[in-house]
Structure formats: C-alpha cells, structure tokens
Amino acid sequence: MSTDKSESDPLLRRELLALAIDVARKAGELTSARPDNFDLSQKTNIRDFATQMDLASEKLIVSEILKARPDDGIIGEEGANRPSTSGITWVIDPIDGTVNYFYGYPGWNISIAAKDEKDVLVGVVISPSLSSLWHASRGDGAFLNDKPIKCNDPVDLSNALIATGFSYDLEKRVAQGKFIGDLAPRVRDIRRGGAGAVDLCFVACGAVDGFFESSLNEWDVAAGGLIAREAGAILSGRNGGPANKEMTILAGPSLHAQLVREIG
C-alpha cells in the first residue's frame, strides 16, 4: 500500500486544487488589465523576454500560495524559487505565452501546478482571452470550465490536426522549419498558437489531435501535461522516453505512437 499522503488523501488533492484554481483566477484578473506600455526584461535573447506583468503575476501567485501553505516549495519561471519542507512544490508560469500577451494575441495563460515527490498532483491552466479554465488532479480526470474532457483517439496521422511551437534558438528554428515542411503535406493541418500550456490543454479537450515542441521547461508542461494525461493522452519525449526540455510529444495513444515514430 502506498504511504504517499498526497496519493492516498483526496482531501489534500481537493485542497491543493481549490487553492490553485482560486489563485489562477486572481492572477487572470490581474493580467487581464493589460497595460498600455510595457517594461521588457530580456532573458535568453532579444526574442525571449518578461514584462512587468509577468513579474506582478508571479508575485501575486507566490504570495497567495504561501499565505495558505507557508511550508510549500516554489519553482517559478521568473525566479521565485524556494525549497519545500512539506513535500509539496508549486510549479508556476505566471504568463505562458508572453509574446502573445505583449501583442494582444489570444491564448496567453497562467499555469499553476503542485507536485509531490512522485509527480504532478494538481494542475490548473487559465486563459482569460479564451474564457477557458482547465483543471485536473491526479487520478480524478480532467475538466474544461468544470465539464469533463477527453482527448481525440484514435486518430490517424493523415487526419491529424497538429499543434507545435518554435524555439527561441534560431538554429533550432531552422531545423524545426525543415521538419514542419516535411510533415505538413502528411497531416490534416498544423497550428502554432504561441502558448505551450494551452496547446497541451487543447490536446486534452480535443481542439487539436496532437502536439510536439522542443525547448519547453517544467513550468510550461507541469499543469497542462497533467490535464492532458488525465484526459487520456500520452506525454513523452523522443522515442517514447520521458518528456524533457529536448522534446515534448503529446497525443492520444494511437496518434502518439505515430508521432513518436516520425519524430524519433
């Protein structure tokens, strides 16, 4: 029998999920007041930046979580990191799809997950511009605006609508572009939404059939990946191994196997 309290205690899962949903909604309200002028902080290169709202959103999320659970750990995209003494660590992307947000393009979102020593335990992705809130807890299914969701399966590659994204690294973009050029004639179509967490959730609710992207970080995948897995999708890296920064592949079982063969 498992001795993992987070695995065996549905009350804890419900507590964490309720907190994540509440905090995500507050961050959604904050970021929906999009400023007229932006202060940009460059990260890995000129195309990869944070705005003052990324920082404000992370500050709000961390404050609200630690007010309720002061012993929990934090992994935040904008640097709000601290170790856990409770066994629970929160993985936060305060604005996923910052370029979308900067341009006023839909799909940007807030992604909040809580994990234990085993894996992600709860996940919430809220996209105010899409009027969508996805959530899941481990073993309890996945939901969009409180309605149960499932991924599309089975789907053949030739009929698949595939989402993807591109790295900030220009050399990787060139290679990705060549691969997309080879793949495009062999699928129904390809979508590029610009926000990885929402792309993962789109697989979960059947808005696209599959997704792959390289260069994703833990905060991009933690919440959306759990939501998609709870909706019946398979999440992996190359050759079916664990998803990692080098590659993330997501789809229902039938299409996932085909994408893994294509991507390697």
Mean pLDDT of the region 188-209: 98
* 3.40.190.80, 3.40.50.300, 3.30.43.10, 3.20.20.210: CATH of 157-263: 3.40.190.80
**Domain ranges (residues) in the chain:** 5-148, 157-263
Residues 61-112 pLDDT 10s: 999 999 999 999 999 999 999 999 999 999 999 999 999 999 999 999 999 9
What is the CATH T-level fold of the domain 5-148, as seen in this structure? Fructose-1,6-Bisphosphatase; Chain A, domain 1 (3.30.540)
**pLDDT band with cut points at 50, 70 and 90 for residue 1:** very low
| Ramachandran category for residue 232: left, alpha or beta (phi over 0 → left; psi -120 to 50 → alpha) | left
Query: What does residue 225 show for φ and ψ, rounded to 5 degrees?
Result: -65, -45
CA atoms 95, 100, 104, 109: torsion sign? negative
**Same CATH topology for 5-148 and 157-263?**
no
Residues 213-244 pLDDT 10s: 999 999 999 999 999 999 999 999 999 999 99
